Amino acid sequence: MSNFGEIIQIHVGQAGAQIANACWELNCIEHGINANGCLHQIPEDDSFKTFFALSQSMKVVPRLVIVDSEPTVIDEIRSGWYRNLFHPDSLITGKEDCGSNFARGYYTIGWEMIDLTLDRIRRIAEVCDNLRGFLMFRSIGGGTGSGLGNLIFEKFQMEYAKKPKLEFIVFPSPSMAPLIVEAYNTVLSTHMGMDVSDCSFIVDNEALYDICSHKLDVKSPTYTNLNRIIGQVVSSFTVSQRFFQRSSFTFGEFQTNLVPYPRIHFPLISFAPFTRLTNSCFQEITTHTLTMECFQPSNHLVRCNPSEGKCMACVLLYRGDISEGDINTSINMLKTTKNSARFVDWSPTGFKTSTNHVAPSFVKGGDFAVTNRALLALTNNTAIKKAWCRLMIKFNKLFSRRAFVHHFVSEGMEESSLLEASNNVCSLIGDYEEIEK
């Protein structure tokens, strides 16, 4: 049994399935596992068992379920490089798409798939020695990730009420709208998931595109490029769960340290270093450099300016060749730097740090330059309200004319549910404004 117990990952919808490729590619590299699920060498400890189970034939199997309402993306996994890594029963597909409609993912198509999905998750949970929680990946702008994703978490409230439920969600970008009705889907998903998700970490594609273009020198980023950034972030997020050290951060501590009130559970993510390959030999990456970079808007995975808001809490997850003394010095300098991190009056210190000396790993031939240290900053900052405000502007433009509402009503949802959801998100914006006072 691993030191912190097992974590089950759930990837929902097209975005969730594509993110799975990047995350598990990096997980395998870090734990010395090949594409067929075989260990390169006998591990020194059982840290890999946090994310992987070991079969009787000594094959390593990821603890995950990937589910989508239509088969296209998951079929690519079934025939791709890692086709022999995943248990076939953990790849679940339906026969028809949710049509970018939350109501189809929640009320109709979702109900057809939920029992099988929960059964597969239950099978994985039953063989865990010490299940610590769940980590979900999805987009909430489409139909499957928003609708079915919410339905899964709601069912968890009955079976796994005491287990932490954390998620990484792809949020609608400020000026990139691949779906006309993504504002409806996002508002409904946020409303319905307010009480079932314990902590939701937000990324948006526009911020990821900016990072690829301006920091990693990738001129025409693909979803593979974007998802590998998410994979690097998730690796740093989970490193303390997989490699135990004295100052490691337990899975339940994320919620405890980042969520001051149940509704305010949408921390910002920033990461450093984003070092392009051509510059790697010219840059010195110090602890201070990492710390300061993580508080720059360009290093955040959501398009917003953190200096415009106030912090309620901040978790700094250092990894690699880092000393405790350098961390303390960097944080003290950060506190005296203008526009870096303004904390609310009732949380004057606000910083929680963790250090893990396992250096980051990188995909061979990827966009990242190899470094021996990295930092992931998770900050519950009121600046995130800007993203909700942008969302509500788009929502109100559609809903004021009742545009496209009939598509949702025809799937069994009442029109009043959209109004109730918008009121709840507006109330969330008000919660952030109240905290800033």
pLDDT, tens digit, 9 for 90 and up, residues 425-434: 999 999 999 9
Asked whether the beta carbons of 105 and 146 are under 8 A apart, the reply is yes
Q: Please identify every residue annotated as catalytic.
A: 253
- What integer pLDDT is reported at residue 379 of this predicted model? 96
Residue 136 confidence (pLDDT) above 70: yes
Question: To 10 degrees, the CA torsion angle through 17, 132, 374, 200?
Answer: 60
| All structural domains of the chain | 6-258 (3.40.50.1440), 268-382 (3.30.1330.20), 387-436 (1.10.287.600)
Of 267, 269, 12, nearest to 154 by C-alpha is: 12
The CA angle 368-134-239, to the nearest 5 degrees, is 35
For 393-425, write each residue's pLDDT tens digit: 999 999 999 999 999 999 999 999 999 999 999
Residue corresponding to tokens 């590998």: 228
- What integer pLDDT is reported at residue 47 of this predicted model? 82
Asked whether the beta carbons of 92 and 10 are under 8 A apart, the reply is no
Measured CA to CA in angstroms, residue 128 lies from 17, 23, 132, 172, 321 at distances of 23, 21, 9, 35, 32
**Which of these ranges, 78-87, 123-132, 275-284, has the smallest mean pLDDT?**
275-284
pTM of the model: 0.95
